[in-house]
Amino acid sequence: MSLPSQIVQLLFSGITVGSIYALIALGFVVIYNVTGIINFAQGEFAVLGALIAVTLSQDTPIFGRAVKVTLDLPLPIAIVAAVLIVSVIGILLYELAIRPAKGASVVSLIIITIGASITLRGLALITWSTDPFRLPNFTVGAPLQIFGAFLILQNFWVIGAAAVILMLLFLFFERTMTGKALRACSINRLAARLMGIDINRMAMFSFALSAAIGAIAGIVITPSTFMGYDSGELLGLKGFVAAIMGGMDSAVGAVIGGLALGILEALGAGFISSAYKDAIAFVMLFLILAARLSGLLGASAKQQESGL
């Protein structure tokens, strides 16, 4: 493969993977801005979304292969159902674990969401055991060929999903009352409450929304990579890095961060070393945190830092 086509290929796969990171980062950003919590269980939402969609749409052995689910719902219905179920899980997470711990310290909240992620992973393990699962491609067809690079159709779904969700979120936050209330919470929780916004409801809503986004991320990527009970850990970590790269406070930032991280990873894997691909995200994390601390990103970033 010639160098230009290799670059196109790498860029395309970078943008695809980056879209997934972007979606997960969006989930982090939504919860963080409304509640001030980093939800370490974010990657688990993606796994649950994907595995539930698989279970609803194809014959799947669960509970240690003791039960076989043969619902065989059509894929679109299964996907919608999976996203809804994961949203409910998000709500339950907030109501059962986060809300009762009102006023807990940052360290306690971190440990709680870590506990939640372990619990969800354990539930996934019990339900689906260690088997890897895959969804069929959403559309059948030969890969597109551009500049000698082969572009798989499913990847367009992934990129499209990220673009559509970003657009919907934009409309939601700008044009609807609930969206504006959520934004009010992220600007000043106390003032929002004084304006009559039910901040508990908003927090619950942010968990539902970010669980749904996470689930969609998991579902669109599952046709191209295997999904198992423990895939959420790395997805969550990289989504977090993407969110930090985007500044943690805006949806657009999260998407740019996700795409940048995906492209860097793809280029790094292609030109430097594929073995250390996963390390790239964390090296980026350190660089960005160092830049933030030294005040490269301006006073606001620094101020935020001290508030954490």
Q: Which residues bind another protein (CB under 8 A)?
A: 38, 40, 63-66, 97, 100-101, 104-108, 110-112, 114-123, 125-126, 129-130, 233-234, 237, 240-241, 244, 275-276, 278-279, 281-283, 285-286, 289-290, 293, 305-306, 308
Which CB atom, from 70 or from 105, has the smaller least distance to another protein? 105
Number of Cβ within 10 Å of residue 292's Cβ equals: 18
Which CB atom, from 75 or from 118, has the smaller least distance to another protein? 118
Counting every residue written for the chain, the total comes to: 308
* Minimum distance of another protein from residue 20's CB (angstroms): 18
* Minimum distance of another protein from residue 47's CB (angstroms): 14
For 13-134, list the strands marked E by DSSP.
60-62, 67-69
* Minimum distance of another protein from residue 118's CB (angstroms): 3
- Give residue 190's identity as a one-letter amino acid code: L
* Minimum distance of another protein from residue 290's CB (angstroms): 6
What is the C-alpha to C-alpha distance for residues 250 and 29, in angstroms, rounded to an integer? Answer: 7
Name the nearest CA neighbour of 15 among 242, 298, 199, 206.
242
Which CB atom, from 100 or from 160, has the smaller least distance to another protein? 100
Q: How far is CA 230 from CA 203, 293, 294, 307, in A?
A: 27, 33, 35, 32
What is the C-alpha to C-alpha distance for residues 27 and 19, in angstroms, rounded to an integer? Answer: 13
Which CB atom, from 147 or from 282, has the smaller least distance to another protein? 282
* Minimum distance of another protein from residue 107's CB (angstroms): 5
Which CB atom, from 176 or from 273, has the smaller least distance to another protein? 273
Report CA Rg, the chain: 19
Token couple for 131: 């088997």
Token couple for 235: 């997805």
